[in-house]
Amino acid sequence: MRGTYPFRESEPAAPAARPKGETTMSATTAAEAPAEPQVQKAWVRLPAVPGRPAAGYLTLVGGTRDATLVAVTTPAAARTELHETMKMDAPGAPDHAGHEAMAGMSGATTMRPVKALPLPAGQTVKLAPGGRHLMLFDVDAKVTPGASVPLRLAFADGRTLETQAKAVAAGDAGVE
């Protein structure tokens, strides 16, 4: 692996606005919950411009006990961070770095890195465009659309989970 970087933490911010009807967490009955966390529909959108970060998306399904995702690594990128997209509601509202939004920027979005992602037992948490997502920095040039990108997810209790994400070109639809 090229590097292991735990997620960073910054000041709390308002959650990202979600389209009506989109849920980011859903309950699963105890009988349906897997024993360990699972990953579904993992994919990575490659950057339109080489050298820019790629974005990763997936669905986490909680096991029979609470878990907290604290790091994601891949040999396909120098570092990976968990990010959250937030809507800047009004001019003068601070972004993640404490900068004020300029006039005319109401409705613009910004991102901030987050240190950890809770995964409650029996819940489903989606990392999706416009919300929480992975940022993959310095992606290997050998990763092309259609390739598999190995991801290793690390949880606070020491558990790890390995999965493959499908690489898609910038502008292409992800895995549904």
Q: Out of 25-34, 132-141, 144-153, pick the least confident.
A: 25-34
Task: Read off the pLDDT of residues 95-127 as tens digits, 9 standing for 90 and up.
Answer: 444 545 445 555 788 889 999 999 999 999 999
* pTM tops 0.85: no
Q: pLDDT tens for residues 74-93?
A: 999 999 999 998 887 655 55
Write the DSSP string, 6-44. PPP-----PPPP--TT--SEEE--TTTS-SS-EEEEEEE
pLDDT above 90 (res 94): no
pLDDT-above-90 percentage for the chain:
61
Cα distance between residue 69 and residue 57, in whole Å: 14
Q: Is the pLDDT of residue 162 over 90?
A: yes
Domains of the chain in start order, with CATH, are: 25-89+106-168 (2.60.40.1890)
pLDDT over 70, % of the chain? 70
